[in-house]
Amino acid sequence: MDCPVVWLYCGGYIMAFNSNIPEGPLKDKWTDHLFNMKLVNPSNKRKYKIIVVGTGLAGGSAAATLAELGYNVEAFSYHESPRRAHSIAAQGGINAAKNYPNDGDSIYRLFYDTIKGGDYRAREANVHRLAEISNNIIDQCVAQGVPFAREYGGLLDNRSFGGAQVSRTFYARGQTGQQLLLGAYSALTRQMKTGNVKFHPRHEMLDLVMVDDKARGIITRNLETGEIKSHAADAVILATGGYGNVFYLSTNAMASNATAAWRAHRKGAYFANPCFTQIHPTCIPVSSEHQSKLTLMSESLRNDGRVWVPKEKGDKRKASEIPENERDYYLERMYPSFGNLVPRDVASRRAKNMCDAGHGVGETGLAVYLDFSDVISRNGQEWVAEKYGNLFDMYKQITGENPYEGPMMIYPAVHYTMGGLWVDYNLMSSIEGLHVLGEANFSDHGANRLGASALMQGLADGYFVIPYTIGNYLASNKLVDIDTNHPAFKDAEDKLKESNDKLFAIKGSRTVDDFHKELGKIMWEYVGMARNKEGLEKALVEIPKLRKEFWKDVKIPGSETELNPELEKAGRLADFLELGELMARDALNREESCGGHFRQEFQTEENEAKRNDADFTFAAAWEYKGENQTPELHKEDLNFEHVKLTTRSYK
């Protein structure tokens, strides 16, 4: 069965929960779908207003492309400029199946690697489309003037990332996200100039507005003045990024949050696989209680760096004093064919195991070495600086130590969230008219994302998928004419003001950061790298308790009608305090280990993740049932017709 349709009775309405995967052979699905979808007449496009929330890679590329097509776009971001989005921080690169190095890559191989890397918990059809589109993205970016790295002959250079044995990652030194975002931003500013995009900087979406069960607008708060305002449209796109900051410490930007997605969830959008979080193996270890965020050292470093720990437990000697034969290059030892380039979940777990077993290094014992001495002596410092210069500088800036002289110390940290709002093949959520792109949706990475695939997915969604599928939605639906005078807007505005008043009225004794740190500790301890039933049940008690405490004792200074970062943070934390609970519930429900979700009860004798395909080959889509109510689980069965489900092996 290709299209599982589940009819659900939901608050008086019958709603379809349908992946809408097109019929036909895998490799023709997208092409056929492109032909079968309805088009909006070019002269009519102007009449449709589309709201795009978020102008990172996914939202920026979508807003620009929709405007180029002639739609009337309003874009919103809590940042002062689209160029500030978290996408800017992506370092390592972006994948595509160009096969420029002639090393055997193909669309099918990228598809296969992504499905396998995701531990068989993603939709085949979506992932195949992603692989097909990947090549167009590189063409597009080069045409925009993105200065990718090149070889001496003038052609584009590639490097390798984890989970792949081919070199398919395009990069711009260690600043690929910056260059791609500036590309999308340039396309967007061009449309801002024409007036096809109206951009609202420093505007935070705080609610979704529905009319006749369709997404028809949003409520925003102007972060500078505090003004609460309604915006109506024919369709709404969320491209609001991931929710890794639920852990407090993560590699995400400080303001990254789940509010837009969560508030849409409260309005009926299903949240899928919330427990699938990615812990990245190569981050700078935590150094003190005051730490506000963690810094990634790009995975690309594993191309040339070798991971090791001392063979002797508790060895306190300096790295330089430990002779070669007393070092354990454990990834190379355990996984001879992938070596240091095993996927992230495997590398992270192994680092944790090594440290738990007493081999960790550094003051805290929660770190392993990433050593470049081999490559430096082979190719010279200059060669290394050319490839990784900014990362080495960043490491030095943060730790005060020079990684050209001794190995880096690294430890896993929360990095990316594979889970997100559930979407169908057309990137539409379970709310009609609400589309979700980029890290905010759950679509393509299954239980583990491969390196350099998020940028690919965000740009695929924005440049090449949504411009067509949203046209199909608009052309297929007769939407009633509404504006912001519709009572649904007034109602949502009132509720929002009420909730802000409630926050101010608490006048408690603890700061938002206090609560956030505490939530982060619970999440890391019980819903982090290794999970078990007992811990998850504990989290399900602790998180609601903390949430109650928050609503009783948080202290928000200042007023509503001014730039008030504490108020912004409080609203976001309130949502994290609900999302965290759903993550624990989802993790408890999924009685298997797969990808980034590792349940200690379910592992092989060699401590690898042990999936349970018979019972868990589904995407878990959770439906909100009201405050403090148990959410309802809907299962979207995943059907694998091309890839055989096997135990992942990187040995």
Partner 1 sequence: MQINLKVWRQENRQAIGGYKNYSVSDVSEHMSFFEMLDKLNNELVRKGEDPIAFDHDCREGICGSCGVTINGRAHGPLRGVTSCQLHMRSFKDGDTLVVEPWRAASFPVIKDLVVDRKSFDRIMESGGYVSINTGGTPDANAIPIPKIDADAAFDSATCIGCGACVAICKNSAAMLFVGAKVTQFTKLPQGKVERRERVKNMVAQMDAEGFGSCTNTGACEAECPKEISLTNIATLNKEYLKASLC
- CB nearer to partner 1: give 224 or 534: 224
Distance of CA 394 to the CA centre of its chain: 23
Question: Which residue out of 159, 344, 349, 599 is catalytically annotated?
Answer: 344
The partner in contact with residue 59, picked from partner 1, ligand FAD, none with C-beta cut-offs of 5 to 8 angstroms by kind, is ligand FAD
Restricted to residues 65-104, the positions that interact with partner 1 (CB under 8 A) are 65, 68, 79-81, 83-86, 88-89, 98, 100
Q: What are phi and psi of 473, to 5 degrees?
A: -60, -45
156 binds, among ligand FAD, partner 1, none (CB under 5 to 8 A by kind): partner 1
Give the three-state DSSP class for 360.
coil
**Residue 540 interacts with, from partner 1, ligand FAD, none (CB under 5-8 Å by kind):** none
Query: Which burial class, exposed, middle or buried, applies to 177 when counting CB atoms under 10 A from its CB (0-12, 13-18, 19+)?
Result: buried
* 416, two tokens: 């990316």
357 is a site residue for partner 1 (CB under 8 A): no
Q: Which is nearer to partner 1, 158 or 429 (CB)?
A: 158
Distance between CA atoms of residues 331 and 464, nearest Å:
38
Stretch that binds partner 1, among 187-195, 327-335, 443-451, 529-537 (CB under 8 A): 187-195
Distance separating alpha carbons of residues 109 and 401, to the nearest angstrom: 40
399, 232 Cβ separation under 8 angstroms: no
Q: Is there a catalytic annotation at residue 344? A: yes
Task: Give one word for 217, left, alpha or beta, with left for phi > 0 and alpha for psi -120 to 50.
Answer: left
Binds partner 1 (CB under 8 A): choice among 94, 138, 437, 454: 138
Q: Residue 553 or 560: which CB sits closer to ligand FAD? A: 560
Which DSSP state fits 33? H
| Residue 366 binds to partner 1 (criterion: CB under 8 A) | no
Part in contact with partner 1 (CB under 8 A); list of ranges 286-294, 331-339, 524-532, 603-611: 286-294
The secondary structure of 351-399 as a DSSP string is HHHHHHTT---TTTS--EEEE-HHHHHHH-HHHHHHHHHHHHHHHHHHH
Report the partner that residue 344 touches, choosing among ligand FAD, partner 1, none (CB closer than 5 to 8 A by kind).
none
The window from 89-97, 369-377, 380-388, 390-398 that contacts ligand FAD (CB under 6 A) reads 89-97
The footprint of partner 1 on residues 531-570 (CB under 8 A) is: 555, 557-558, 562-563, 565-566
388 binds, among partner 1, ligand FAD, none (CB under 5 to 8 A by kind): none
- Please give the residues from 203 up to 262 whose contact with partner 1 meets the rule CB under 8 A: 224, 253-255
Residue (293 or 486) nearer to partner 1, CB = 293
Say if CB 435 and CB 392 are below 8 A apart: no
Q: Give residue 245's identity as a one-letter amino acid code.
A: N
User: Are β-strands 618-623 and 632-637 bridged in parallel, bridged antiparallel, or unpaired?
Assistant: antiparallel
Q: Which stretch binds ligand FAD (CB under 6 A): 4-12, 25-33, 86-94, 582-590?
A: 86-94
Please name the amino acid found at residue 59.
G
DSSP state of 150: B
CB of 50 to ligand FAD, least distance (A): 15
Contact 556, 503 (CB under 8 A): yes
Q: Does 278 engage in binding with ligand FAD (CB under 6 A)?
A: no
Q: Measuring CA to CA, which residue among 433, 444, 635 is closest to residue 17? A: 635
Binding-site size, partner 1 (CB under 8 A): 79
Given the rule CB under 8 A, which of 135-143, 348-356, 373-381, 542-550 is the region that contacts partner 1?
135-143
Task: Say if residues 275 and 472 touch (Cβ distance below 8 Å).
Answer: no
Per-residue x/- marks for partner 1, 489-518, CB under 8 A?
Answer: --------------------xxx-xx----
Could you say whether residue 110 binds ligand FAD (CB under 6 A)? no
Binding to ligand FAD, residues 184-213 (CB under 6 A): 204-205
Binding to ligand FAD, residues 234-263 (CB under 6 A) = 239-242, 251-252, 256, 259-260
Cα separation of 245 and 572, whole Å? 10
For 196, how many CA atoms within 13 A lie in the half-sphere containing its CB?
A: 18
Residue type, 89: A
Of ligand FAD, partner 1, none, which one does residue 57 interact with (CB within 5 to 8 Å by kind)? ligand FAD
DSSP state of 592: S
Query: How many whole angstroms from its chain centre is CA 243?
Result: 7
Answer for which of 17, 71, 76, 392 binds ligand FAD (CB under 6 A) is 76
Q: Using an 8 Å Cβ cutoff, are 482 and 212 in contact? A: no
Active-site residues, by number, are: 344
